[in-house]
Amino acid sequence: MNLDKIREQVDYIDYEILKLLNERMELGLRTKKFKNAIQDKDRETQILEQLKKYAHAYNLIKPDFVEKLFKAIMRESRKNQKPNKKLIGFQGEHGAFGEMAAEYYDQELAAIPCAEFADVFEGVEKGNLELGIVPVENSLGGAITQVNELLIRTDLKVIGAVKLRINHCLLKSPESNYQEIRIVYSHPQALSQCRDFLNRQQLEARSFYDTAGAANMLAKEKPKMAAAIASKFCAELYNLEVIKENIQDHKNNFTRFLILSRREQENSADKCSIIFSTSHKAGTLFAVLKIFAEERINLTRIESLPYRNDPGTYVFFLDFQCDDIHSRVRNILNKVKLKTKMLKYLGCYKEEVF
């Protein structure tokens, strides 16, 4: 093994250590929901003694070094577990666009990956996460149906929104030759948003559950002749190389994310979201929309979705601009309630564009 190969392996191990440390910190954050005291001396002593015993199996790692190292790790973990550190769940793996949107919303939040959108909602509902962030619509792909259905079924409130510009990058592992790439992995929506680019380059698209997950798989498994479509953030996170940036077919590609909480926010707002359904009579939807027209309220989104609990009935998602959370919105919603079968108030909030 030559020097370059040794250094390459050292770099890879260092990267894996960092990733595992981050995973440990995340698990530490999750434990604060199940214990009153941040510091558990007995538990920490027990862990240290056990680790020092394990160290005897490795002749290059001394027990006193193990103790110093893990005491430092535990100190850092305790800092992260302070009560004011809030957890926000996002769907996907680290590097996902949802995590990026969460960081834009509030850099002080600790972003926790969740396997499915339902896990984000459940985590917030059960109090394991203070907040959740989910994509509700994309400017090219339209509404995210699964998220909209979860908004109907749960009682969570929307306390903020982030409109994030989506820039897709073609990524490869450092070991691969970009001229040999024939297969590209990514989320189906990302693949569809880059269809023209893939066709021009004669690349085969293969679906993966998550853009960041595809990048992580590429870094771990290093499949031959393969690349991934993901964010530039993923390239930094997983030690991948960017072959080309902004490969999406349309440059104005935005995804709108909602911030979820168990409690509604009471600060200033510029947008309000509701869900409603109407009876099967001609003009019922018009009657609702007429209320907003008469109040000179600008609608920013209206989507319809079949209501599973009542076949043949459609549920409408409506966003409108507002400058007063209390009196004016309350007055409008009272009028809307008289014209609908079901009305659900999601919340008034600030929306930011990045």
Residues involved in catalysis: 255, 257
Give CA–CA dist 167/230, Å, rounded: 8
Specify whether the CB–CB gap between 323 and 270 falls below 8 A: yes
Which residue, among 331, 267, 332, has the nearest Cα to 298 in the 3D structure? Answer: 332
If one counts every other C-beta atom within 10 angstroms of the C-beta of residue 44, the result is 16
Specify whether the CB–CB gap between 318 and 276 falls below 8 A: yes
The helix-helix angle for 63-80 and 3-31 (nearest 10°) equals: 50
Q: What are the structure tokens assigned to 69, written together?
A: 């190292």
* Residues sharing a CB contact under 8 Å with residue 275, sequence separation 6 or more, in sequence order: 151, 152, 315, 316, 317, 318, 342, 343, 344, 346
Specify whether the CB–CB gap between 146 and 302 falls below 8 A: no
What's the burial of 343, exposed, middle or buried (CB within 10 Å: 0-12/13-18/19+)?
A: middle
- Specify the DSSP class assigned to residue 297: P
